[in-house]
Amino acid sequence: MGSEGAQRHVVVLTGAGISADSGVDTYRDAGGLWEGHRFEEVATPEAWAANRELVWRFYQLRRQKLAAVEPNAAHLALVRLERELAARGEGFTLVTQNVDDLHQRAGSTVLPMHGELSRLRCEACGSRPADREHLDEEDLVPCPDCGAVPLRPDVVWFGEMPYHLPEIEAAVARATHFIAIGTSGAVYPAAGYLSYARASGAWTACQGLAEPDNLDPRDAFFGGRASEAVPELVDALLADPPRV
């Protein structure tokens, strides 16, 4: 059971499964292929250096798709959890591995550790403009600030350092409740936070269609689709007394 009475700090980590019910493909359920390319082939600094046009086309397609999807009940339930815990003077931190902007559009405060499709980045001057006017641009876009190189997607690729790690690690260290939603637990450092929170004494749980690779017998597991299970989980956390 959860730690009733103590000042709660709930940390939620989400993965592609929370956006699946909005129509966004996951990485490993959909076979992880795009036009015959594996993500690992396209989402790397080496691929960008070797074939910028291919990588740009891959990400432009994903950026365009974002405009066609909406946050689902799971995203909205996490906004409710954040606001209700704040009203009670309790802590909440949301971390996402996703690069879609569905948490942001739902109204959550979120730490996007793998970057954001809605941003571009200049590797020469570091500029990270939010960008929507170039969604349909087939050609590479020179950096508007320095012009030295074409802008790349502001997405963290395999082998690159994720964003917000110190802030995430501090939140996990003080979590009383840690819940991983819609993630296969296959990619680190994100997959390591579940055991780190458990070792720090937090109540730990996973929610997803399938048990994640990093699930431990000490973790609770809530099966099913996030859009149905996450609102129920939020109700249980906010019940008086909490049911988890």
Binding to ligand APR (CB under 6 A) within 18-77 occurs at 20-21, 26-29, 39
Taking the CA atoms of 84, 164, 205 and 197 in sequence, report the sign of the dihedral they define. negative
Residue 50: CB partners within 8 Å, gap ≥ 6? none
Task: List, in sequence order, every residue forming a beta bridge with 11; answer none if it has no partner.
Answer: 93, 178
Q: How far is the CB of 182 from ligand APR (least distance, A)?
A: 4
Contact indicator for 171, 186 with CB cutoff of 8 Å: no
How far apart are CB 201 and ligand APR at their closest, in Å?
25
Residues 125-184 that bind ligand APR (CB under 6 A): 182-184
- Which residue's entry shows tokens 């815990």? 85
Q: Phi first, then psi: what are they for 44, rounded to 5°?
A: -145, 150
Question: By rule CB under 6 A, what count of residues binds ligand APR?
Answer: 23
* Catalytic one of 9, 75, 103, 114: 114
Q: Which of 90, 108, 212, 233 binds ligand APR (CB under 6 A)?
A: 212
Report the residue number, 113 or 143, with the smaller CB distance to ligand APR: 113
Residue number with CB closer to ligand APR (143 or 180): 180
| Helix (H), strand (E) at residue 13 | strand 9-14
Which residue ranges make up the site for ligand APR (CB under 6 A)? 15-17, 20-21, 26-29, 39, 97, 114, 182-184, 186-187, 208-210, 212, 225-226
